[in-house]
Amino acid sequence: MALLPALALATAVAAGCAESTTGGGGTADGGVEVIKPGILTTCTHMDYKPFQFHDQGKIVGFDVDLVDAIAKDMGLKQEILDTPFEGIQSGEDLNTRRCDVAAAAMSITPAREENFDFSDPYFDSTQALMTKKGSGIRSLSDLRGKKLGVQLATTGEKYANENKDANGYEVVQFEDLPLSVTAVETGQVDAAINDNSVFGDFVKSNPNVEITNEFSTGDQYGIGMATGNTALKDRVNAALKKLKENGEYDKIYEKWFGKKPQ
């Protein structure tokens, strides 16, 4: 996943958890330092259904539930900060302690690892091509002379740019996922590329579009933390390991994807 340069201060929103407390910082179980007492502050970017999105005034999703469970294991409650993705990807939000962690369906890449640290992988993903139903576009080569929509700063955008010269299409950037899928529906672009899980969720309730191809890119999502924050990284990894071993991860996965992870 990804997004655009920061234009305004982000808004802190509690994800179905307690309101934040004020203070000069605090510690989680095991003595790991956090920004606010009793709180694990998470940077993310909305909307990216089913990982994090607004539903009836609440922030919900797979990533939200997963980090709620990690926070609980640490003796904390999660508070979400909805912020432009560029501030996450650049490492600024993490390294300036705006948030403790970043969870935004974010693929682990070498470029991002230069800006901040990642947890162990927690989700496997790949890229998918979405078009209007019946478009006849089944591959990137079918897009020659046409327009392919991408979400800014995503691995999908990177993949589209790497293959555009060979396939002769124009890459059109969009600030977020909703804008890119709307562009497909309205014919502003001929197709869009993004993670298969978010497109898969979208086509369930939008029968006018379909996924016509998937591209194996080896993407794996990770939770971001400030560079060198080994104590927090180790604690998050320990919580992830426990959630996978005790079956809680599988329950969260099945809740949002209708099946257990393969």
Reported as a single tens digit per residue, the pLDDT across 112-147 is 999 999 999 999 999 999 999 999 999 999 999 999
pLDDT of residue 10: 37
Phi, psi of 110 (to 5 degrees): -55, -40
Query: CA-based angle 48:74:96, to the nearest 5?
Result: 60
pLDDT of residue 2: 40
Burial letters 106-137, b for 16+ CB under 10 A, else e: bbbbeebeebbbbbeebbebebbbbbbeebeb
pTM of the predicted structure, to 2 decimals: 0.80
Contact (Cβ atoms closer than 8 angstroms) between residue 183 and residue 174: yes
Q: Name the β-bridge partners of 81.
A: 12, 43
